[in-house]
Amino acid sequence: MTNDAPSGDIQHLITIMARLRTPDGGCPWDLEQDFSTIAPYTIEEAYEVADAIERGDMVDLRDELGDLLLQVAFHARMAEEAGAFKFEDVVVAICDKMVRRHPHVFAGASVEDADAQTRAWEQQKAAERAAKGEADTSALAGIARGLPEWQRAVKLQSRAARTGFDWPDHRPVFAKLREELDELEAEFDRSERDSSHLREELGDVLFVAANLARHAKIDPGTALRSANAKFERRFRAMEALAREQGEDFAALGLESQERLWDEVKRGELAQS
């Protein structure tokens, strides 16, 4: 048995996780899980942390960070059961990495600014990959394939930019975006669409849009999350407005629905 009273000691969380995974008396659901089944929950919890930050809800952020920490403890427990490593090893590894990659803080080195530190960080990562004997020496080496594709696009572009392969500012990016939109529209308008070509052209548009976000120094995921929230807020307001007017929103024609959208939008602008 373990003391179930809340505690700020990380060891308490490790003990709880071990108990959940104990074959004799543990939780059947927790016992059925493995790394692959838990990974989607880990990703989901990271997004919920980002959502709490976006909403500025510090109480929710505290809880979501706890959920994310549980994911680390879960993975570490399964690794310990497999004889691979323990939670303590995870902590040692990240502490070692942070000290090693911040010589300007812990070893007397100096950097001019945040951009210089980013370059030094990437150089250190490249040196670490070389020390491990990794054969890939490309500037794009080490970018995880499991990242959300919008995030991977920005990382690919940022790495390429460090070699000088980048537009000088946002203007050529807009020109490229217009070019890609024209090609996408042409593919849409073909009498016999090729789905693979359509997918490729749409991908090009999204890739350039991610590049535009990078030049604006705006995270495209955050921007899209904001757009999603705005659309959901306005759509729900349209439904409510239709009900107030005694109408079934889904039964209205598009023209009437768009009038409701404009009314909701004007209301928001008036309050801003």
Domain limits at 22? Answer: 10-100
Q: Are 104 and 110 in contact (CB under 8 A)?
A: yes
Residue 1 binned pLDDT confidence (cut-offs 50, 70, 90): very low
Q: What's the confidence (pLDDT) of residue 36?
A: 95
**165, part of any domain:** no
161 falls within a domain: no
In a domain, 230, yes or no: yes
pLDDT tens column, 127-170: 777 777 777 878 888 888 888 899 999 999 999 998 999 999 99
Q: What SS3 class is residue 72?
A: helix
Work out the pLDDT band at 5, boundaries 50, 70, 90: low
- Residue at which a domain ends, from 41, 73, 100: 100
Q: Smallest Cα–Cα separation from 208: which of 197, 198, 220? A: 220
Residues in the chain: 272
Q: Which amino acid is at 24?
A: D
Task: Say if residue 103 is exposed, middle or buried (CB neighbours under 10 Å; 0-12, 13-18, 19+).
Answer: middle
Q: Is residue 251 part of a domain?
A: yes
Does 207 fall in a domain? Answer: no
Domain edge (last residue) among 66, 100, 134: 100
The predicted structure's pLDDT at residue 83: 98
DSSP result, 77-128 = HHHHHTTS--HHHHHHHHHHHHHHT-HHHHSS---SSHHHHHHHHHHHHHHH
Predicted TM-score (pTM) of the model is: 0.67
Work out the average pLDDT over 105-127.
Answer: 78
Residue written as tokens 């970018």?
Answer: 143
Which of 189, 253, 224 is CA-nearest to residue 54? 224
Binned at pLDDT 50, 70 and 90, residue 179 comes out as very high
CATH number at residue 16: 1.10.287.1080
Mean pLDDT taken over the chain: 91
- 261 is written with which tokens? 């959208």
10 Å Cβ neighbour count for 14? 17
Q: Has residue 82 been placed in a domain?
A: yes
Residue 173 counted as domain residue: no
Residue 162 within any structural domain of the chain: no
Number of domains in the chain: 2
State the pLDDT at residue 116: 76
Of 62, 84, 100, the position where a domain reaches its end is: 100
